[in-house]
Structure 1
Amino acid sequence: MAHHFTGAQSTGHVRLHFRDEETSKVPTSLSAIEQVDGSLWLGADESASVERLSTQDDINFGSRESFRLADYFALPGGPDQEVDFEGLAWDGEAGRLWLARSHSLRRRQPKDGESGKDALKAMGIVNRQANRYLLGSIKLNGAQGEGAQRTLQPAADAAAAMLFTAESSQLTDLLADNPLISPFLAIPSKDNGFDIEGLAVKGRSVFLGLRGPELRGWATVLQLRLEQSGKLLKLELIPGGDQTYLHHVVDLGGLVIRDLSVIDDDLLILAGPTMELDGPVRVFRWRNAFRNNHERRIDNSALDLLFDIPWGEHVDHAEGTSLFRSVYGDPQLLVVYDSPSRKRLHEGKYFEVDLFPLRL
């Protein structure tokens, strides 16, 4: 795939305000973000909750509220075990906030100063966290404020999820029969194993973007159709066929999916490296993704490169995106970062994230 790469500079910033005691954890491990009216909903790798920040000026977001996921879902690992948050999506038509966890295994990281023998021993330990298999949604009800500034509240009795346990989920059980993906279900995420990082929803159509596996330079997007039945999300057949999911391969020039966002019938893809590398990081647009009902090879016939996002050495790794709408102009792409540089933290007063222009 031949592309002309265009670097982009942010055209503005949004400030996320956390109390001082919170700055060491949530802001420094953000992995998902979604705008819902006058609020930003946030997920962090090392959290067992979803966070909401509200605004009055579309620039400063604060008044943080935290919602424990255990109050909405039966978490087999207990209420305090982190869930490896990776995706958030808003379905405005249904009024539901969707959440996705990585569904991945984890290899232990050696500690600084360990001997070679101890480091190898540590790296030989592979485990799973029981709460990582959640894919679900929560109904947001009611409104505080008016128009774009209204704030919606989660309804504890209106959450639903695909069936999952501490060991697996309906999704991973389904993929066990996929000859391309099944070998990677038992491989840790940071070793090119199975790892969900992107989520996008429109109506019953659910798209999951994978960080791994990368298959001979191709990234994977899974397309599902889910219908709520009480507390469960159940698979439906994709219209026009007999498949319960579609496996798309996407040519991102060797990069993989780090997040997904919806724009009209298209998908915005945040693409980055699958392994522990700083970059490159690029934003693509998959045209007419939500009009698709068959498995596809997605290349530059349906894919546009929009721009590159700057990154730093071991800092400022773009991790989550949301289409951001404000009273100040056209929609922009909001980007949050894992391992943020010190300049973004402003000595704990607020955490600064970036806005990038979109040519619609």
Structure 2
Amino acid sequence: MKKHLNLEFNEKLSINKAGKHVRDGLSTAIILGDNLWIACDERSSLERLTRTDKDTFGNHQSFDLTEFLELPDADSEIDVEGLGFEDHYLWLVGSHSLARKKPRKADTPEKQIKRLAKVKDDPNRYLLARIPMVKDKETGEYVLRKECPHPDIPNVKLHAAQLVSYGDKNKLMSVLANDIHLKPFLNIPGKDNGFDIEGLALSKEKIFIGLRGPVLRGWAMILEVAIEDTKSAHFKLKPIGEKGAFYKKHFLHLEGMGIRELRVIKNDLLILAGPTMDLDGTISVYRWKDAMKQESEAMVHRKELERLFDVPHGSGDTSGQDKAEGMALYDESHVLIVFDSPTEKRKTGDNGVVADIYKL
């Protein structure tokens, strides 16, 4: 059983430099109070919508992330693929992936073939960061701040920070460089089953990072990391694994699907799963029971995962459309699903789009 929710965007804030509307590339979402925070995969901003009635979020505001974070390239996208919230901080993660150029049908076959050989590496994509998020006392809206007092602890300040850089990437990529499972995939574009982050979830000190790819013989992967603060606007990874490893790996048999979004609900982890390759395919929501109690690396077989429901996707005349990309906890028993490349049927007016609410 599903219901619908209308998302209304402001046209003046919604068109990127390439002319793409924010509603056409929704990649992740999170609900805090009456605010829906949402990201588009081809921008360097976050969008905030506010509940205007029981079926609608509107009053669109856009927050330019270059005002809060140190981005290496002011003109390239971050490709935000995951949002999380913990202890007055909004967390975000970029895809950390390479992108292969799309052939253009109007070009000659020779140009199309040449374009398909080009791989793009945007430095802004290698981002794991947190930004203070507090309620504005006058409006009651959640807002981002580069720095502000902690609302509950006197004489403590919250400040924006990000994972330390390592060359033209970041520390996460450097510690994964020789990983026995991931090393062969780090130089492969995301939509070619290469390394591609999609999904972020937090629980106390645990930070879970979902991988759309690679999928290894049907097994998807979640990375778990923890961070250590520094005196600068950067934080470091903290050793959490065997022999001082900076990460743990959890493998889940999602029946060949990769991870599109992660959400913590009590001690469980909800997983939005879908194709790792650029194709129409099954999209489903799973529950990993008691994932928050897991202390060691895990192998979670399909019978240990609860498959809650499937999400319809485009096919035939709508091939490549209505791809479920983001999942937010709507309340204790429902999730909100937002879609990349929505069909015309899903769009409302010039600037609206419909999201779906599913009962867990």
- TM > 0.5 fold call: yes
**Which structure exhibits the higher relative contact order, with contacts defined as CA atoms closer than 8 Å and separated by 6 or more residues?**
1
**Amino acid in the other structure paired with 2:65:** L
Scaled by the length of structure 2, what TM-score is found?
Answer: 0.89
Give the superposition deviation at 1:350. Answer: 2.1
1:107 aligns with 2:100: yes
Q: Name the CA distance, whole Å, in 1 between partners of 2:128 and 2:11.
A: 31
- Hey, what does 2:290 align to over in structure 1? 288
Aligned counterparts of 2:138 and 2:243: Cα–Cα separation in 1: 44
Deviation of 1:116 after TM superposition, in Å, equals: 2.4
Q: Check conservation: 2:241, 2:248, Cα contact below 8 A.
A: no
Could you tell me how far 1:301 is from its partner in structure 2?
4.9
The alpha carbon displacement at 1:234 in A equals 1.9
Instruction: Provide the secondary structure at the position in 1 that maps to 2:263.
Output: strand
By how many angstroms is 1:135 displaced? 0.5
Alpha carbons 1:76, 1:165 under 8 Å: kept:
no
Contact 1:162 1:233 in 2 (8 A): yes
Is the contact made by 2:23 and 2:351 (CA closer than 8 Å) also made in structure 1? no
The question of 1:116 aligning with 2:100 is answered no
User: 2:325 is matched with which residue?
Assistant: 319
Q: CA deviation at 1:49?
A: 0.4
Residue 153 of structure 2: aligned partner: none
AA matched with 2:135 = G
Secondary structure of the residue that 2:76 maps to in structure 1?
Answer: coil
Tell me the secondary structure at the aligned position of residue 169 of structure 2: coil
Q: Any residues of structure 2 matched to 1:309-348 within 5 Å, and which? A: 309-313=311-315, 314-325=320-331, 330-348=332-350
Q: Does the 8 A contact of 1:76 with 1:166 survive in 2?
A: no
**1:351 corresponds to 2:353:** yes
Aligned pairs, how many? 339
Mark the CA change 1:133 to 1:27 in structure 2 (over 3 Å): closer, same or farther.
same
Counterpart in the other structure of 2:150: none
* Counterpart AA for 2:142: L
Corresponding residue number in structure 2 for 1:188: 189
Equivalent runs, 1:72-83 vs 2, <5 Å: 72-78=68-74, 80-83=75-78
Which one is further off, 331-340 or 232-241?
A: 232-241
> Displacement, 1:136?
0.7
* In 2, Cα distance between equivalents of 1:77 and 1:20: 25
Could you say what secondary structure the match of 2:107 adopts?
coil
Partner of 2:7: 16
Q: Which runs of 5+ in 1 are unaligned?
A: 1-8
Which is further off, 184-193 or 347-356?
Answer: 347-356
CA contact (8 A) 2:198 2:210 kept: yes
CA distance 1:356–1:275, shift in 2 (3 Å): same
Unaligned runs of 5+ in 2: 148-158
In 1, Cα distance between the equivalents of 2:166 and 2:48? 27
User: For residues 178 and 338 of structure 2, what CA distance do their matches in structure 1 show?
Assistant: 35
Measure the CA separation in 2 of the matches of 1:165 and 1:226.
16
Letter paired with 1:66: S
How far is the alpha carbon of 1:84 from its aligned partner?
0.9
Q: Is the 8 Å Cα contact of residues 319 and 337 (structure 1) preserved in structure 2?
A: yes
Q: Which amino acid aligns with 2:63?
A: F
Please give the residue correspondences for 1:252-267 in structure 2 after superposition, counting only pairs within 5 Å. Answer: 252-267=254-269
Q: Compute the displacement of 1:175 (Å).
A: 0.2
Shift of 1:355: 0.1
1:137 counterpart residue number: 130
CA distance in 2, matches of 1:322, 1:299: 25
CA RMSD of the aligned region, Å?
1.8
Q: Which residue of 1 aligns with 2:152?
A: none
Following the alignment from structure 1 to structure 2, what is the Cα–Cα distance between the partners of residues 15 and 307?
22
SS of residue matched to 2:6: strand
Aligned mates of 1:189, 1:164 — CA distance in 2: 21
Question: Does structure 2 retain, via aligned residues, the 8 Å contact 1:240–1:293?
Answer: no
CA distance in 1, matches of 2:64, 2:170: 21
Instruction: Tell me the TM-score normalised to structure 1 length.
Output: 0.89
Cα offsets for 1:215-261 (capped at 9, x unmatched): 11111110111233342222223288733210111100111101111
- Secondary structure of the structure 1 residue equivalent to 2:146: strand
Q: Determine helix, strand or coil for the equivalent of 2:255.
A: coil
For residues 251 and 215 of structure 2, the distance between their equivalents in structure 1, rounded to whole angstroms, comes to: 9
Contact between 1:89 and 1:98, CA under 8 Å: does it hold in 2?
yes
Q: Where does 1:100-249 land on structure 2 (aligned, <5 Å)?
A: 100-144=93-137, 150-157=140-147, 158-164=159-165, 167-230=168-231, 231-238=233-240, 242-249=244-251
Corresponding letter in the other structure for 1:36: L
The one-letter amino acid paired with 2:70 is A
C-alpha separation in 2, matches of 1:111 and 1:355: 35
Which residue of 23, 37, 40 corresponds with 2:33?
37
Asked if the contact 1:30–1:319 (Cα under 8 Å) also holds between the matched residues in 2, the reply is yes
Give the structure 1 partner of residue 301 of structure 2.
Answer: 299
- Structure 1 residue 294: Cα displacement: 0.9
SS of alignment partner, residue 215 of structure 2: coil
Residue 145 (structure 1) shift: 6.7
Distance, in Å, in 2 between the alignment partners of 1:346 and 1:286 is 35
